[in-house]
Amino acid sequence: MKKKILFVINYFYPDPASTGQLITELCLALQDSFQVTVIAAQPGGYAGGEGKAGRLIEVGTLEDIRVIRLKLPRVDKTSKISRINYIFAYFILAHLALLREKSVDIIYTISTPPVLGGLIGTIGKFLKRTKHVYNIQDFNPEQAAAVSFTKSKLIFKIARLVDKFSCRHADNIVVVGQDMAETLKNRFLYHKVPRYQVIHNWTDEDEIVPLPKTEWHVNRFLEENDLKDKFVVMYSGNIGLYYDLENLIKLTKDFAEFDDLAFVFIGEGAVKKQMQQFVDEEAIKNVFFLPYQPKDFIRYSLNAADVHLVVNQKGIKGVSVPSKIYGVMAAGKPVLGVLEKGSEAERLIAGSSCGRVVEPRDYKGAAALIRSFYMMDRGQREKMGLRGRQYLEQHLRKELSIGKYKQLLMGL
């Protein structure tokens, strides 16, 4: 009889969040080997859309996967109170749904909501007498501290103790970068470090492939968004608190007179309105904000760029890995990185020679890199981007990461 794995996550298909897409692909790959049940929020409410009306807990399916949906309040990402209300509503409803499940062999949780994601798995492990796999996509409260989300040392200390408790009692921890493994070791002062494994995130390298701007869908995207015949600097993903985008947007003022250069920001998030306000106040005409693109169209929108921004706030090294790096490498586009040296994304760029990097808050350096890419020979840019694609095919294929997950879960 197949083992039953209960995924307790807040993002799942068709939510556009990158973690939701990753976990969806993982569950689909596991459904032949395991009995998979997912507890997740109704899509849309946290990513900026409208959640569905209905009961607090509803049950559906995705292929052979049983999906339990939680009705949660819509969140305003610019409001701390709204975020906290959403997180605690999820925490309570996820436990109610978890308690109703029978004969669970493994509980799999991720590090969202911050700290409480791991705690759900720890409590569930004790209540259900089962195994717990804790996938840390972001270390918190370290991530929140990096952007001064709270200045309370007491809250930080309590949150860190709670998450260490979850780490200590997990049967296996998965981190998504070598720098994050170092953070885990440092948490425990390199003494009695919990069992862990580094498994990279991924993109579907068969779905996202390098395409020229002349490809029909890519060309249409450029035409519809007034980007035809322009040098496109693109950011595609969460426009949130951990990327310093509210300051990086100010660099666009230096390029406001470049009629053949465009900055394109695709996605939603807490600082998007602030960024739009700056652009409006400065009357900058070559900055474009677009909503999240449908999953099956991302392969085209990514290929509309000449260079992609992959950025993180200072202090995020070892705390989080921007998943967008994998999609950019798959599309064979060069990377303009604003990343700390030694961070996972910086290592990937350096190891593949697929881009150039400056340190966070080096705004003059970032502006110089934009000019450098703009002036660079197109053939040189294309070769640089394709080196990222080659590296991904050799070391970061989707099947490699999913194979590691299968081996880990079978071992439990």
- pLDDT tens digits, 201-256: 999 999 999 999 999 999 999 999 999 999 999 999 999 888 999 999 999 999 99
pLDDT of residue 150: 67
pLDDT of residue 155: 87
pLDDT of residue 47: 44
pLDDT of residue 130: 96
List phi, psi (to 5°) of 74.
-65, 140
Q: Give the chain's mean pLDDT.
A: 93
Distance CA 316, CA 323 (A): 13
Q: Which fold has domain 216-395?
A: Rossmann fold (3.40.50)
Distance CA 32, CA 16 (A): 24
For domain 4-202+397-411, say whether CATH 2.130.10.10 is its number: no
What pLDDT band is residue 49 in, cutting at 50, 70 and 90?
A: very low
What pLDDT band is residue 83 in, cutting at 50, 70 and 90?
A: confident
CB 241 within 8 A of CB 270: yes
- pTM above 0.85? yes
pLDDT of residue 221: 98
Q: Within the chain, which residue ranges are assigned CATH 3.40.50.2000?
A: 4-202+397-411, 216-395
pLDDT of residue 45: 54
Percent residues over pLDDT 70 in the chain: 96
More confident call, 299 vs 295: 299
Distance CA 150, CA 186 (A): 22
Quickly list H helices, 331-397.
Answer: 344-352, 363-375, 378-395
Q: 70 - beta bridge partners?
A: 41, 57
Indicate whether 48 pLDDT > 50: no
Question: Quick one: average pLDDT of 293-309?
Answer: 96
* HEC per residue, 112-125: CCCCHHHHHHHHHH
pLDDT of residue 84: 84
Indicate whether 46 pLDDT > 50: no
**In residues, how long is the chain?**
412
pLDDT digits (tens, 9 = 90+) for 138-177: 999 988 887 776 677 898 899 999 999 999 999 999 999 9
Specify the DSSP element, H or E, that contains 85. Answer: helix 80-99
Q: Which of 36-40, 88-92, 112-116 has the highest mean pLDDT?
A: 36-40
For residues 373-399, one letter each, b for 16 or more C-beta atoms within 10 angstroms of the residue's C-beta and e for the rest, the string is bbebeeeebbebbbbbbebbeeebbbe
CB 48 within 8 A of CB 78: no
CB 218 within 8 A of CB 304: yes
Question: Quick one: average pLDDT of 72-88?
Answer: 83
Side chain identity at residue 214, one-letter code: T
**In 3D, which of 9, 1, 136 has the Cα closest to residue 70?**
9
pLDDT of residue 241: 84
What pLDDT band is residue 379 in, cutting at 50, 70 and 90?
A: very high
